[in-house]
Amino acid sequence: MVFKALLISVLAAFQITKGALIRRATCSDGTVVANSACCVLIPVIQDIQENLFDGGECGEEVHESLRLTFHDAIGISPAIAATGVFGGGGADGSIILFEDIEPNFHANNGVDEIIDEQKPIIAKHNITTADFIQLAGAIGVSNCPGAPQLNVFIGRPDATQPAPDKTVPEPFDSVDSILARFQDAFSDVGGFTPAEVVALLASHTIAAADHVDPSIPGTPFDSTPELFDTQFFIETQLRGTLFPGTGGNQGEAQSALAGELRLQSDSELARDSRTACEWQSFVNNQAKLQSAFKAAFRRMSILGHDESSLIDCSDVVPVPPAPASDAHFPAGQTIDDVEQACASTPFPTLPTDPGPASSVAPV
């Protein structure tokens, strides 16, 4: 009896993963992890929540850290590699490790700010730069009400070479070119569908632009940049009538709300026959927004690596706060303002916010 109880408790402390015995553990802060190697992340997370994200906010540094996960990971091109030139290593930290090169690429305009904030934190901890970039994005997103609990993996080796230029899509790229770029980046791991591209763009629900129209830095892409909600997918579907700043900027389309900026790429993806129905499907569907973004982010965050060589540390990610908004038309806007692009499904019925036509504040 005693032996059996002992055996059960020993087995409970281990789980067999892919043939190897993995040690469960309770980390210093009480977090229970399936793999004790993940406890190394607890002090890193405490540090970034306190010193990067201002005590757990969903603010500018979270937005910038999420953008950085993408700009590092998408730096991989099997098509370039096929020409005999190094095509980039994906999520390999190269955007920070080669900070004299990659941040100077046009599409990376502005990433130097978050790099300057992340570098001293990375230096304090025993973690690769590649792992840190993706960890910071996932932890940051967990501060945003409505967000999914993203996956975290560790074990990515750091880059030894920079990614080539032109791997990061630009807001003035055509839909053809954007879809092709994602397909290329993921071509060694089964490709990436237009639906997955749309799902990944849910990131723009917690986003603003500093450099598209430099006269109005911090101009958000939706009216709720601190919430991981579906407003981005609603508001990009509204007829564009104004530029929030000077207008005439490369990669900018007219938006529907004062104080809100619309990227040309988002505008076109919302209206292209290959992506419009998927775009509309996120309107008023918070559950799909969460699950589809989580799945697409998981694939993006390990680009360039074989998942079986990484350790899944997703249990260190805090549960994000519940959604804090219901899908709605901003004040002054109704279904009549929607540029319906999905031919097969009607736009969902939504309430309009009361009050005079709204304008969005910078972040």
Catalytic residues: 71
Whether residue 222 is annotated as binding a ligand: the answer is yes
Q: Which of 200, 292, 342, 350 binds ligand HEM (CB under 6 A)?
A: 200
Asked if 324 and 146 count as a contact pair (C-beta separation under 8 A), the reply is yes
Q: Site mask, ligand HEM, residues 12-51, x = CB under 6 A?
A: ----------------------------------------
- Identify the residue among 63, 262, 298, 299 touching ligand HEM (CB under 6 A): 63
Q: Does 135 bind ligand HEM (CB under 6 A)?
A: no
70 lies in the binding site for ligand HEM (CB under 6 A): yes
Contact residue for ligand HEM among 203, 224, 231, 249 (CB under 6 A): 203
279 in contact with ligand HEM (CB under 6 A): no
Instruction: Give the number of residues written for the chain.
Output: 363
Asked whether position 54 contacts ligand HEM by CB under 6 A, the answer is: no
For residue 29, the minimal CB distance to ligand HEM (Å) is 27
Among 27, 91, 212, 276, binds ligand HEM (CB under 6 A): 212
| Half-sphere exposure for 342 (CA within 13 Å, toward CB) | 19
Contact 45, 29 (CB under 8 A): no
* 207 touching ligand HEM, by CB under 6 A: yes
* Residue of 45, 96, 159, 178 interacting with ligand HEM (CB under 6 A): 178
Residue 208 touches ligand HEM, criterion: CB under 6 A: yes
CB of 234 to ligand HEM, least distance (A): 18
Is residue 131 marked as binding? no
Q: Per CB under 6 A, does 106 bind ligand HEM?
A: no
Roughly how many angstroms between the first and final C-alpha of the chain, as a whole number? 63
Q: Which stretch binds ligand HEM (CB under 6 A): 14-22, 41-49, 203-211, 315-323?
A: 203-211
Determine the interface stretch with ligand HEM among 61-69, 97-105, 271-279, 302-310 (rule: CB under 6 A).
Answer: 61-69
327 binds ligand HEM (CB under 6 A): no
Binding status of residue 66 toward ligand HEM by CB under 6 A = yes
Regarding 169 and contact with ligand HEM (CB under 6 A), the answer is yes
Q: Is 204 marked within a binding site?
A: yes
Q: Which 3-state string (H, E, C) describes the chain?
A: CHHHHHHHHHHHHEEEECCEEEECEECCCCCEECCHHHHHHHHHHHHHHHHCCCCCCCCHHHHHHHHHHHHHHCCCCHHHHCCCCCCCCCCCCHHHHCCCCHHHCHHHCCHHHHHHHHHHHHHHCCCCHHHHHHHHHHHHHCCCCCCCCCCCEECCCCCCCCCCCCCCCCCCCCHHHHHHHHHHHCHHHCCCCHHHHHHHHHHHHHCEECCCCCCCCCEECCCCCCCCCCHHHHHCCECCCECCCCCCCCCEECECCECCCEEHHHHHHHHCCCCHHHHHHCCCCHHHHHHHHHHHHHHHHCCCCCHHHCEECHHHCCCCCCCCCCCCECCCCCHHHECCCCCCCCCCCCCECCCCCCECCCC
What residues are designated binding site for Ca(2+)? 72, 90, 92, 94, 205, 222, 224, 229
Residues engaged in binding ligand HEM (CB under 6 A): 60, 63-64, 66-67, 70, 110, 169-171, 178, 200-201, 203-204, 206-212, 251, 263, 265
What residues are designated binding site for heme b? 204
